[in-house]
Amino acid sequence: MEFFVTLIQVLDSTIRLATPLLLACLAGLYSERAGIFDIGLEGKMLMAAFFSAAVAAVTGSVWLGLLAGIASSLILSGLHGLASITFRGNQLISGVAINFLAAGMTVLIAQSWFKQGGRTPSLFGGGRFESAEFPYAIGPDDAELTGRSVSDLMSDANALHLIYSELLSGHSILVYIAFLMVPATWWVLFRTRFGLRLRAVGENPAAVDTAGVSVVGLRYAAVAICGVLCGIAGAYLATALQAGFVKDMTAGRGFIALAALIFAKWRPWHAMWACLLFGLLQAIALRFQNIDLGGVVIPVQVMDALPYILTVVILAGFVGKAIPPRAGGEPYVKER
Amino acid sequence: MEKMPKWADVVLIPLISLILAAILSALVILAIGENPVEAVNLMVTGALGSTYGWGYTLYYATNFMFTGLAVAVAFHARLFNIGGEGQAMLGGLGVAMVCLYVPWPHWSIALLGACAASMLFGAAWAAIPAYLQAKRGSHIVITTIMFNFIAAAFLNYMLVNVMRPQGSQDPATARFPEAVHLPTFQSMFSTAENVVFRGAPANISFFVALLACVVVWALIWRTRLGYEIRAYGHSETGAVYAGISPVRITIIAMLISGALAGLMAINNVMGEAERLVLNSTEGAGFIGIAVALMGRSHPFGVFLAAILFGFLYQGGAELALWTSIPRELIVVIQALVILFTGALDNMVRMPLEKLFLGLRKGAE
């Protein structure tokens, strides 16, 4: 039973840690399916994390914070669009620039606003996303009623009730939004006219242009959706997973999301499984540090590096080849 | 017919991009409530006003020359090596191994050994992404990003679990023996009555970096291999038609690039820290991207851009010391330089090309 409780707890933290990855991964999915490579996911998340935490701290409203986060991420998206769509610049270099811009600007503005060494004040009350308790789930209310701790109640509950209370219930609303985005993304991309055009513009923009649809417009739309999702991902990091912004708090999550995107071969459902897998690796590394498997110790660093190693293996095509959208990374020039 | 004279392409465009980046940086400083003119004054006196300041400026510039050259060589083959950071980390591991485990009689021989080891380790770290790009078509940008993270985890493991001396809490190797300490500018240029570069980390590796600039120039513009690299970068189909093997050029260019990035370790690990610490590269691998873009992938341009960024780094440290502007201002400036000289290049180029075409028409 104790093992089972631990397992459920690890899976619970897997969901929490996979959420920002999933949002960023789906963000990258829209952008890259439309032919715009985006290695600036990290920067957009970071910028959104800062502005959501800053505005939530100043106004006391986490929803205003979320909006501010999305807006800041959208501005960076616009910059990426300007560089890679309008001025036909190198999309990868633009992404690198955006990552650095976010890394520098967040600390600069945080220092100038809050003077706390590049962080925001800790968020509390309405400044944070509360966890949503499902009906009949074991939560703080039950603990108060019975006078026992939540973890105590959890270990006494039966398996189904435990899964329901710990794993499914008690997350912030953004977690449920993130997982609902998976079927939504699948539906948009594969069941709507917009989705068909978006995928076409990533494979053969000339054909879309010939059909009389604006390539530039579609690509800007994709980049904007990417900005919104990155904004939610950043806001989740700073206002739900943690209580406030600290310097470089994305800690490479944007790149893990990118890795997950390749791992999933640019498909929404696979993206969810890839993000859950990488989230699980993070959760295990967080909980166990070095793992002893019958005498062979797996150092924690292996867990840290595993998402990247797996991605390289997938990219190498030894386990099913990952082929990116054909027009990815190429600026579209009318009438060559 | 060229749309623009060559000097405009080489000098004017980077200059305008730089001015745009400077104006935006000044606006950023204004926005956080500081005076940009005062900030520039502080930076200039802090970085260039004394031999001490120069000692730091040139130390940083040495790092950036190596990483800038690394990115530049790959750019010539139209490969974007974003993995300079990881390759430099591995170079540091190579330097630490030869410095700690080989009993060197004198620093000069040790320097040769360390150069060889750092280049070997850096090149080895670039070899796998290079092979995957050449043979399997895996995108080099993604694989090198992934290899940066793998390198960081690997180094963390090596320092915490393997190379850390007994009883030490610090994730770092032991100090290198006295015999492999490189001569600093202080010991090289000071006289008995006049001590210069006191306490500054600039060391003999600066001259290795200068040599590397010359060697890379000769390689790219004066050898058959360099011609093949440039031809491949210019047009892959053209190169194939001329009998140049894409696989061979991709792998060789990346190996050279990785070796140059790894070579940085003789400066920061052997010359300055004299032991290997976590995060010894401090992002120099990424600054190499800005340096190579600004230097237009030419070794002389890389040299100038590296000095500029060395100045920014030392100046930024002084700013953080004397004002409330944090060091991250430099990261913002770096981002703006990459943005304007790299991604928004066409924004500057298109109007200029129109201008020159108009001028030419007017003259005819």
Q: Which positions ≥6 away from B180 have C-beta within 8 Å?
A: B99, B104, B107, B110, B114, B270
- Pairwise CA distance, residues A120 & A62, whole Å: 14
Contacts A93 to B, Cβ<8 Å: 80, 289, 293, 338, 342-343
Q: Give residue-wise pLDDT tens across range A281-309.
A: 888 888 876 677 776 778 888 888 888 88
A282-291, B151-160, B238-247, B300-309 — which is least confidently predicted? Answer: A282-291
| CB B58, CB B68: distance < 8 Å | no
Whether residue B359 is found in the same domain as residue B282: no
Q: Do B326 and A301 touch (CB under 8 A)?
A: no
Q: Which ranges constitute the DSSP H helices of A163-291?
A: 173-191, 193-203, 205-210, 215-236, 253-263, 268-288
Q: How many domains does chain A have?
A: 1
User: Which DSSP category does B277 fall into?
Assistant: B
Contacts B346 to A, Cβ<8 Å: 87-89
Backbone angles phi, psi at A265, to 5 degrees: 50, 45
> Which SS3 state, helix, strand or coil, does residue B46 take?
helix
At A251, which CATH number? 1.10.3470
Neighbour tally for B136: CB within 10 Å: 13
Does ipTM come in above 0.95?
no
Q: Which of A88, A108, A111, A278 to mutate to test the interface with B (most CBs of B within 10 A)?
A: A108
**Closest residue by Cα to residue B198 from B61, B41, B42, B54:** B54
Whether residue B141 is found in the same domain as residue B188: yes
**A153 located within any domain:** no
What band does B224 get if pLDDT is binned at 50, 70 and 90?
very high
The fraction of chain B above a pLDDT of 70, given in percent, is: 99
Q: Do A97 and B339 touch (CB under 8 A)?
A: yes
The dihedral over CA atoms of A28, A256, B333, B122, expressed in degrees to the nearest 10, equals -130
The continuous run of DSSP H or E covering A297 comes out as strand A296-298
Q: Evaluate if residue B125 carries a pLDDT over 90.
A: yes
Q: Do A83 and B343 touch (CB under 8 A)?
A: yes
Q: Give residue-wise pLDDT tens across range B251-272.
A: 999 999 999 999 999 999 999 8
How many Å lie between the alpha carbon of A7 and the closest alpha carbon of chain B? 26
Contacts B309 to A, Cβ<8 Å: none
The rounded mean pLDDT for chain B is 90
- Pairwise CA distance, residues B177 & B168, whole Å: 17
Could you identify the residue written with the tokens 């390749």? Answer: A262
Whether residue B104 is found in the same domain as residue B28: no
Whether residue B275 is found in the same domain as residue B132: yes
pLDDT of residue A6: 83
User: Which amino acid makes up residue B11?
Assistant: V
pLDDT of residue A134: 78
Q: Nearest by CB to A90, from B156, B286, B342: name it.
A: B342
Neighbour tally for A126: CB within 10 Å: 15
Q: Report residue A319 as tokens.
A: 């386990």
| CB A139, CB A165: distance < 8 Å | yes
Whether residue B101 is found in the same domain as residue B208: yes
**B42 located within any domain:** no
Residues in chain A: 336
Q: Give residue-wise pLDDT tens across range B142-171.
A: 899 899 999 999 999 999 888 888 888 888
Q: Give residue-wise pLDDT tens across range B190-219.
A: 887 888 888 889 999 999 999 999 999 999
Per-residue pLDDT of chain A (336 residues; tens, 9 = 90+): 677 888 888 898 999 999 999 999 999 999 999 999 999 999 999 999 999 999 999 998 899 999 999 999 999 999 999 999 999 888 888 998 999 999 999 999 998 888 887 788 888 877 788 777 777 777 777 777 777 777 777 777 777 777 787 778 778 889 999 999 999 999 999 999 999 999 999 999 999 999 999 999 999 999 999 999 999 999 999 999 888 899 889 888 998 898 889 888 899 999 999 999 999 988 888 887 667 777 677 888 888 888 888 888 877 876 666 677 888 878 888 765
What band does B61 get if pLDDT is binned at 50, 70 and 90?
very high
**A98 located within any domain:** yes
Whether residue B147 is found in the same domain as residue B249: yes
pLDDT of residue A336: 55
CA geometry: angle at A50 spanning A46 and A52, to 5°? Answer: 115
Q: Evaluate if residue B4 carries a pLDDT over 60.
A: yes
User: What is the Cβ-side half-sphere exposure of residue B246, based on CA atoms within 13 angstroms?
Assistant: 17
What is the b/e burial string over A27-63, where b = at least 16 CB atoms within 10 angstroms of the residue's CB? Answer: bbbbbbbbbbbbbbbbbbbbbbbbbbbbbbbbeeebe
Strand A131-132 vs strand A291-293: parallel, antiparallel, or unpaired? Answer: unpaired
Whether residue B190 is found in the same domain as residue B237: yes
Q: Nearest by CB to B145, from A93, A108, A255: name it.
A: A255
Q: Which positions ≥6 away from B20 have C-beta within 8 Å?
A: B336, B340, B348
Q: How many domains does chain B have?
A: 2
Q: What is the residue range of B275's domain?
A: 63-302
Nearest residue in B to A248, CA atom: B328
**A229 located within any domain:** yes
> Which SS3 state, helix, strand or coil, does residue B203 take?
strand
How many Å lie between the alpha carbon of B237 and the closest alpha carbon of chain A? 17
Cα distances from B345 to residues A90, B82, B226, in angstroms, run 9, 19, 25
| CB B281, CB B85: distance < 8 Å | yes
User: What is the Cβ-side half-sphere exposure of residue B304, based on CA atoms within 13 angstroms?
Assistant: 13
Q: Report residue A63 as tokens.
A: 């929803």
Whether residue B186 is found in the same domain as residue B263: yes
Contacts A90 to B, Cβ<8 Å: 80, 342-343, 345
Q: Which of B140, B323, B344 to mutate to test the interface with A (most CBs of A within 10 A)?
A: B344
Q: What is the residue range of A42's domain?
A: 2-133+170-316
A101-115, A145-159, B113-127, B221-235 — which is least confidently predicted? Answer: A145-159
What's this model's pTM, rounded to 2 decimal places? 0.89
Neighbour tally for B105: CB within 10 Å: 9
- Pairwise CA distance, residues A214 & A220, whole Å: 10
Q: Do A103 and B331 touch (CB under 8 A)?
A: yes
User: Which amino acid makes up residue B221?
Assistant: W
How many Å lie between the alpha carbon of A75 and the closest alpha carbon of chain B? 15
Q: Do A100 and B146 touch (CB under 8 A)?
A: no
**Closest residue by Cα to residue B203 from B219, B187, B227:** B187
A positions 130-189 inside 8 Å of B (CB) = none
Q: Evaluate if residue B2 carries a pLDDT over 70.
A: no
pLDDT of residue A156: 72
**A14 located within any domain:** yes
Whether residue B122 is found in the same domain as residue B228: yes
User: What is the Cβ-side half-sphere exposure of residue B142, based on CA atoms within 13 angstroms?
Assistant: 30
Whether residue B138 is found in the same domain as residue B29: no
Q: Is A320 on the interface with B (CB under 8 A)?
A: no
Q: Which positions ≥6 away from A335 have C-beta within 8 Å?
A: none
Contacts A118 to B, Cβ<8 Å: 326, 328
User: Which DSSP category does A118 fall into?
Assistant: S
Q: Which positions ≥6 away from A320 have C-beta within 8 Å?
A: A265, A314
| CB B147, CB B83: distance < 8 Å | yes
Q: Is B330 on the interface with A (CB under 8 A)?
A: yes
- Pairwise CA distance, residues B200 & B297, whole Å: 29
Whether residue B11 is found in the same domain as residue B96: no
Whether residue B69 is found in the same domain as residue B155: yes
| CB B150, CB A308: distance < 8 Å | yes
- Pairwise CA distance, residues B330 & B313, whole Å: 7
Q: Evaluate if residue B3 carries a pLDDT over 80.
A: no
**A327 located within any domain:** no
Domain boundary among B249, B273, B302: B302
Strand A291-293 vs strand A171-172: parallel, antiparallel, or unpaired? Answer: unpaired
pLDDT of residue B153: 92
Q: Is B289 on the interface with A (CB under 8 A)?
A: yes
Contacts B126 to A, Cβ<8 Å: none
**A140 located within any domain:** no
**A158 located within any domain:** no
**Closest residue by Cα to residue B111 from B99, B123, B125, B128:** B99
Strand A171-172 vs strand A131-132: parallel, antiparallel, or unpaired? Answer: antiparallel
Q: Give residue-wise pLDDT tens across range A125-172.
A: 777 887 777 777 777 777 777 777 777 777 777 777 777 877 787 788
Query: Distance of alpha carbon B353 from its chain centroid, rounded?
Result: 30
pLDDT of residue B122: 96
| CB B334, CB A104: distance < 8 Å | yes
How many Å lie between the alpha carbon of B110 and the closest alpha carbon of chain A? 31
The continuous run of DSSP H or E covering A313 comes out as helix A300-316
| CB A96, CB A39: distance < 8 Å | yes
Q: Nearest by CB to A316, from B132, B147, B161: name it.
A: B132
**A86 located within any domain:** yes
Q: Evaluate if residue B1 carries a pLDDT over 60.
A: no
Dihedral sign of CA atoms A110, A113, A114, A117 in order: positive
- Pairwise CA distance, residues B113 & A319, whole Å: 40
User: Which DSSP category does B184 fall into?
Assistant: B
